Amino acid sequence: MNAMIDMQKLLPAWEQFRAATDISTIRDEAHYARMTQMLEGLLVEAGGDERHPIMGLVDIVGDLIEDYETEQHHLPETNGIDALKFLMEQHGLKQGDLKEIGSQGVVSEILAGKRELNVRQVRALSERFGVSTATFL
């Protein structure tokens, strides 16, 4: 890339691009919603091709979203048991419904913190709920 940038050409192009996309540091929830919608559209356009020319813009918009989420959407500290309880509630499950991790008694002990999830159980839960194994660690 040429170290000398022609600002006379760049500035009008930037102004036109910014007006069309509203790309900037995310200001509020409405702007956040527009940026996440844009990111989804960009990802659809890229079609999973990591070498697609639009991926540079995906990185920029993704970084803006991540910065806003870090600043505005603080997530509480949780652990794997909290995540499991949340997912059970969201899916309307009872302890006996989690046969892939053991009997109702085993599930009860895990939820009470008397027993830890093992690797097999973490993998099974990850598969069942479609989340990362890190969710339960």
Query: Could you give the number of structural domains in the chain?
Result: 2
Last residue of a domain, which of 19, 47, 72?
A: 72
Unique residue bearing structure tokens 């890229």: 46
Q: For residue range 47-75, what is the model confidence (pLDDT) as tens digits? A: 888 899 999 999 999 999 989 888 887 66
Shortest CA distance to 128 belongs to which of 113, 117, 112?
Answer: 117
Provide the phi-psi class of 130: left if phi over 0, else alpha when psi is between -120 and 50, else beta. Answer: left
Same domain, 62 and 100: no
Q: What's the pLDDT at 2? A: 55
Same domain, 114 and 67: no
Q: Is the Cβ–Cβ distance between 38 and 21 less than 8 Å?
A: yes
Indicate the pTM of the whole model. 0.54
- How far apart (Å, rounded) are the C-alpha atoms in residues 77 and 83? 11
- How far apart (Å, rounded) are the C-alpha atoms in residues 60 and 35? 11
Q: Residue 95: inside a domain, yes or no?
A: yes
Average pLDDT per block of 10 residues along the chain, 137 residues long: 80 94 94 93 89 94 89 78 93 94 94 93 92 85
Same domain, 88 and 64: no
Q: What's the pLDDT at 5? A: 87
Residue span of the structural domain in which 40 resides? 7-72
Same domain, 84 and 31: no
Q: Residue 2: inside a domain, yes or no?
A: no
CB-based contacts of 124-128 (< 8 A; 24+ apart in sequence): 124/100, 125/84, 125/87, 125/98, 125/100, 125/101, 128/100
